[in-house]
Amino acid sequence: MNFFIFGIFVMTFLMVIAKRMTALITGFCLQSFFLFGCVLFIAYRSADNGMYVLAGLIFTLKVIAIPLFLRWVIKKINTNEDLGLLVNPVLSLFLVIILTVLSYYFAKEIVVLKENLVITSFAVSLSVTFTGLFIMVTRRKAVAQIVGLLLMENGVFLTATTLCGGMPFLMEIAVFFDIFIIVVILGIFVYRINELFTHIDVNKLTKLRG
């Protein structure tokens, strides 16, 4: 368990220092793989069939389908690989570390149970969520915002799993379906933006003001 949480944690930092889109997507793919391992481990421990299904869903959707789809979109729009960093990798890393430390104290405040593993994993999931938000704000390309959103969802999902032992099964399935639809819709819009503006730099989308 600790190993998987650690993996998710490290992948988050790798995503923060990524400069190219494919690197970011690979980071997301690997992180989802660790998330898959984490859920599989919990499923094994609790012998819960629903959890096995969930692990399978994570593997097919987050580890395979979504990264493939995003790569396909990038290839299709034929843009340069640069993410358009507003904050350079070193400073980003520094800021995210601060976010992580804050998450840890926050988690310690909230969790009543003094079980160490719960606190750690909750802190990690919070920091993943906030890192997702951070990436969305400080990277200029549309694809980076999609990955940031996915990262946030990963964090929230990890919170649900580690803190509450998962949400009701039907709800989890619905959330997954929802994520998949969002990514497809966002992919379509990236395609349209590229067609209309001939770039996918969302910071330059400033026609609407005031």
Partner 1 sequence: MEIYLILIIPVVLAIISALVEKPVIAGTITTIGYGVELLISFCFANKILAVKHFSEAIFYADALSAFFILTVSLITFASALYSISFIEKDVQNKKFPESQSKIYYLLFNLFTFSMYLVTLVNNLGFVWIAIEMTTLASAFLVGFYNSKHSVEAAWKYIIICSVGITLALLGTILFYYTVSHDGGIKSLNWTDFISVASKLDGHIIKIAFLFILVGYGTKAGLAPMHTWLPDAHSQAVTPISALLSGVLLKTSVYAIMRFAIVTNKAIGSGYTSHLFVFFGLISITVAAVFVLVQKDLKRLLAYSSVEHIGIIVLGLGFGGPIGCYGALLHTFNHAATKAVMFFGAGEIIEKYNTHNMRKIKGAVKAIPFAGVFTIITAFALSGMPPFSVFFSEMAVLYAGFVKGSYMASVVYIFVLAVVFYGLVEHIAGISFGKKPEDMIASKDPSITKAAFIFLFVFVCVSGFLFPGFFNSLLKAASGILLGNI
* Residue from 76, 108, 178, 203 binding partner 1 (CB under 8 A): 178
Of 66, 121, 153, 187, the one binding partner 1 by CB under 8 A = 153
Token pair listed for 203:
């910071």
Total chain residues near partner 1 (CB under 8 A): 37
d(CA 123, CA 105): 8
Place of tokens 């960093």: 85
We find the least distance from the C-beta atom of residue 159 to partner 1, in angstroms, to be: 6
14 binds partner 1 (CB under 8 A): no
CA-based nearest residue to 40, from 30, 25, 50, 31? 50
Residues 187, 73 contacting (CB under 8 angstroms): yes
3-state secondary structure 32-52: HHHHHHHHHHHHHHHCCHHHH
* 88 to 21, 22, 92, 187: CA distances (angstroms): 15, 18, 6, 26
189 touching partner 1, by CB under 8 A: yes
| Cβ atoms of residues 157 and 128 within 8 Å | no
Q: Which one of 35-43, 60-68, 94-102, 183-191 is the stretch in contact with partner 1 (CB under 8 A)?
A: 183-191
* Binding segment (CB under 8 A) for partner 1, from list 13-21, 51-59, 65-73, 171-179: 171-179
Site string for partner 1, 90-109 (x = CB under 8 A): -------------------x
CA-CA distances (angstroms) from residue 93 to 22, 85, 100, 108, 160? 19, 12, 10, 23, 26
**Residue 90 Cβ vs partner 1, minimum distance, rounded to whole Å:** 25
Of 142, 143, 144, 147, the one binding partner 1 by CB under 8 A: 142
Cβ–Cβ < 8 Å for 12, 147: no
The least CB distance from residue 173 to partner 1, in Å, is 10
Contacts with 9 (C-beta within 8 Å, 6 or more apart), sequence order:
124, 127, 128
Of residues 81 and 178, the one with the C-beta less far from partner 1: 178
Residues of this chain that bind partner 1 (CB under 8 A):
109-110, 112-113, 129, 133, 136, 142, 145, 149, 152-153, 156, 159-160, 163-164, 167-168, 171, 174-175, 178, 181-182, 185-186, 189, 192-193, 196-197, 202, 205, 207-208, 210
